[in-house]
């Protein structure tokens, strides 16, 4: 027994040391480890002296545990995660440092020119700084469009979108520089990318090509109505049924029942508050399972307005939309639409009657993630007059789209049943036209370039029915592009390092890329705890304003932050308290929360303080969705610990 105890006493310290082994820290950081991305052909060797190694996939992320120099060659001992596991040695020259886990996603190319990848930042800067960037870039685009090679350009964005949400790709940001294009600030970004298929000599590789007309024969569309089914909505429920009955008749005659599907979700409010409401959200028709018009009408036969009133005038619209987003298998369809129909506002995520805990911005993000466009038909009835302004603001945010300079929001004055019916008819007919033309091989528009003049423009004198028809055509075209991109497996361009503009060169106000921050499980958990601490401090500060920053200093101490930073001057900004993790430092974004100081907080009125509190609470609920969504967590190295999987968080969703 004594020998066993002695042996254990020798083994335990060794085991403890192995478990405690950590990667090298970045210079000047206390919690961030050194990371690299592999270049094409990078190999891992068991020992530095070995002659043969194992080639690793390009853009695999590794943590650095040791650095050694032998024969004037720098070597890195690397591991797939930060948990002490190492797999061997790599030559440093075959890797690229990755200080911030940032990656880019292209915005939808409809309505803008495709992104050009420049070999040298000076060439890109010269164009952005020109008196007329659009005129300066035009001859370069002409050369590229012809398939010839311009020495300044390495590659071009695929014509068909590469969807990062459905097929994750890594387009890491290596560095950035800010320049001015006209009066707008633009970020020049150095990014890394790679292709397994090199371009033919003397010609520029054009990714995302394929037989579009043949693929569009399989293009399908789904429209899911999310309808408020409370007491006042009877006439609109009946009119929606009537519209779908008529449109199904046309679909059947056109023999397109397999191409166009309609679904329906009804919602009310909290059944805990009012049990007589029967349900908060309920799917009546699943578009994947419905067969024809008779089947649809049979499934909605029992859909009737509620027999009792809800606790509030606002209803739980977000519950209805999230039910549609979560319960429908959207990947079955190329065109994906939700049509919200309501005469009331939406219960905000901070209200105790909310079943989702989300706000318009978070629900909109979830729809964009699934490639679903939300159309909001807001019935401005006289009964809801006091509610109209706040509801309009909610639904404009909910139905925002980066493709148009407006929201997919359609107010119906006085709640006119006739006007509402005309809009629903027009919407449904537009979907039939879209799919029918796709089946015939006709795209709504020939290319992103040809649609430029149409996107964001609209005649204000046209009717609401005509307006929604125009918007459906534009959005339908964008969804065709997305569908073709998915079906042809559109990839990011075939380069390793290049410079791009984060905004369209011809129009700096239109973004061409979106930044995603790749957070690990631990970082997301830490961010949740930090935002929760700030939320609690805000709540305490609303009750007693003087205690807000005292609470934050206490939270920073509890979370184990640097005590030297915690004892900052009284009017230090929140970011200077050391509360936020180092992984959020130096990111290319501005936070109104982190820029908040005690003096500014004290100047806030009750409304501003309450708005800040509600925003933080909605973000917390959204972070919980991120954490629970196992499908969106991505390993960046083979055999890495799940704690080092990453989640691509849109940068605007950070605190």
The domain defined by 214-488 carries CATH number 3.40.50.410: yes
- Check residue 545 and give its pLDDT: 67
Q: Which residues contact 256 (CB under 8 A, 6 or more apart)?
A: 432, 435, 436, 439
Angstrom distance (rounded) from CA 569 to CA 585: 20
Angstrom distance (rounded) from CA 117 to CA 454: 26
Q: Which residues contact 54 (CB under 8 A, 6 or more apart)?
A: 43, 44, 88
Angstrom distance (rounded) from CA 174 to CA 189: 8
- Check residue 211 and give its pLDDT: 56
- Check residue 629 and give its pLDDT: 85
In words, the CATH class of domain 20-97 is: mainly beta
Q: Where are the domains of the chain?
A: 20-97, 102-208+489-511, 214-488, 521-653
- Check residue 175 and give its pLDDT: 80
- End-to-end Cα separation, the chain, in angstroms: 56
* Cβ pair 402, 412 in contact under 8 A: no
Q: What is the mean pLDDT of each run of 10 residues along the chain (655 residues)?
A: 42 48 89 87 91 88 94 93 93 87 82 89 93 93 88 84 70 83 84 51 41 73 94 93 89 88 95 96 96 93 94 96 96 92 95 95 92 93 91 95 82 91 90 83 46 48 82 81 70 67 89 87 85 82 70 63 46 62 69 73 82 88 89 86 88 83
Inter-CA distances, 279 with 123, 267, 337, 370, 586, Å: 60, 7, 23, 25, 46
Residue labelled with tokens 């999230």? 322
Write down the pTM of the prediction: 0.75
Residue labelled with tokens 């020939």? 446
Angstrom distance (rounded) from CA 349 to CA 619: 10
Angstrom distance (rounded) from CA 237 to CA 181: 50
Q: Which residues contact 247 (CB under 8 A, 6 or more apart)?
A: 262, 425, 428, 429, 432
Spell out the SS3 assignment of 586-597: CCCCCCCCCCCE
Angstrom distance (rounded) from CA 653 to CA 210: 35
- Check residue 492 and give its pLDDT: 55
Inter-CA distances, 271 with 234, 238, 355, 591, 601, Å: 20, 24, 10, 37, 38
* Cβ pair 316, 354 in contact under 8 A: yes
Q: In this structure, how many other beta carbons lie within 10 angstroms of the beta carbon of residue 353? A: 18
Tokens of 67: 């650095």
Angstrom distance (rounded) from CA 137 to CA 113: 11
* Cβ pair 378, 342 in contact under 8 A: yes
């Amino acid at each position: 027994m004594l020998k066993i105890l002695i042996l254990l006493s020798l083994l335990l310290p060794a085991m403890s040391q192995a478990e405690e082994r950590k990667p090298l820290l970045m210079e000047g950081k206390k919690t961030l480890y050194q990371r690299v991305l592999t270049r094409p052909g990078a190999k891992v060797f068991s020992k530095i002296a070995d002659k043969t190694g194992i080639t690793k996939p390009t853009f695999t992320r590794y943590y650095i545990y040791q650095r050694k120099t032998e024969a004037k060659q720098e070597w890195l001992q690397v591991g797939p995660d930060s948990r002490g596991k190492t797999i061997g040695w790599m030559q440093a020259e075959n890797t690229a440092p990755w200080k911030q886990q940032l990656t880019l996603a292209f915005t939808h190319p409809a309505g803008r020119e495709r992104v050009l990848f420049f070999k040298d930042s000076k060439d890109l800067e010269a164009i952005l700084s020109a008196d007329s960037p659009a005129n300066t870039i035009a001859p370069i685009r002409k050369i590229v469009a012809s398939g010839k090679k311009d020495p300044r350009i390495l590659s071009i964005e695929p014509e068909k979108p590469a969807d990062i949400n459905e097929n994750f790709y890594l387009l890491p940001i290596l560095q950035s520089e800010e320049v001015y294009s006209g009066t707008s600030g633009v970020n020049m970004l150095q990014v890394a990318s790679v292709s397994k298929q090199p371009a033919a000599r003397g010609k520029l590789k054009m990714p995302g090509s394929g037989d579009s007309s043949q693929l569009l024969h399989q293009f399908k569309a789904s429209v899911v109505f999310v309808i408020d089914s409370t007491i006042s909505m009877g006439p609109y429920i009946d009119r929606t049924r009537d519209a779908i009955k008529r449109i199904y008749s046309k679909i059947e005659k056109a023999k397109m029942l397999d191409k166009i599907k309609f679904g329906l979700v009804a919602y009310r409010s909290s059944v805990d508050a009012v049990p007589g409401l029967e349900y908060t959200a309920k799917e009546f028709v699943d578009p994947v399972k419905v067969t024809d018009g008779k089947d649809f009408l049979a499934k909605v036969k029992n859909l009737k307005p509620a027999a009792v009133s809800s606790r509030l005038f606002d209803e739980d619209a977000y519950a209805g939309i999230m039910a549609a987003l979560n319960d429908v298998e959207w990947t079955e369809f190329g065109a994906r639409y939700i049509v919200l129909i309501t005469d009331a506002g939406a219960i905000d995520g901070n209200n105790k009657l909310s079943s989702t805990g989300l706000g318009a911005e978070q629900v909109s993000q979830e729809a964009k993630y699934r490639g679903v466009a939300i159309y909001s038909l807001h019935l401005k009835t006289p009964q809801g007059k006091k509610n109209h302004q706040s509801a309009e603001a909610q639904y404009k945010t909910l139905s925002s789209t980066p493709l148009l300079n407006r929201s997919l929001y359609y107010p119906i004055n006085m709640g006119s049943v006739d006007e509402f019916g005309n809009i629903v008819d027009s919407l449904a007919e537009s979907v039939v036209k879209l799919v029918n033309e796709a089946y015939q091989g006709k795209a709504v528009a020939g290319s992103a370039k040809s649609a430029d003049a149409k996107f964001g423009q609209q005649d204000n004198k046209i009717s609401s029915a005509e307006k929604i028809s125009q918007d459906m055509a534009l959005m339908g075209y964008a969804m065709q592009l997305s569908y073709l991109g998915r079906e042809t497996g559109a990839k990011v361009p075939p380069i390793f390092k290049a410079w791009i503009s984060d905004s369209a060169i011809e129009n700096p106000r239109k973004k061409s890329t979106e930044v995603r921050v790749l957070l690990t499980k631990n970082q997301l958990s830490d961010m949740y705890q930090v935002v929760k601490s700030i939320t609690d401090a805000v709540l305490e500060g609303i009750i007693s304003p003087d205690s807000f920053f005292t609470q934050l200093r206490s939270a920073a101490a509890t979370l184990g932050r640097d005590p030297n930073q915690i004892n900052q001057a009284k009017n230090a900004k929140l970011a200077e308290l050391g509360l936020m993790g180092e992984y959020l430092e130096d990111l290319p974004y501005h936070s109104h929360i982190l820029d908040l100081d005690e003096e500014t907080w004290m100047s806030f009125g009750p409304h501003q303080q309450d708005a800040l509190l509600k925003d933080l609470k909605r973000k917390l609920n959204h972070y919980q969705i991120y954490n629970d969504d196992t499908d969106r967590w991505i390993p960046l190295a083979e055999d890495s610990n799940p704690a080092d999987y990453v989640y691509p968080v849109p940068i605007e969703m950070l605190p």
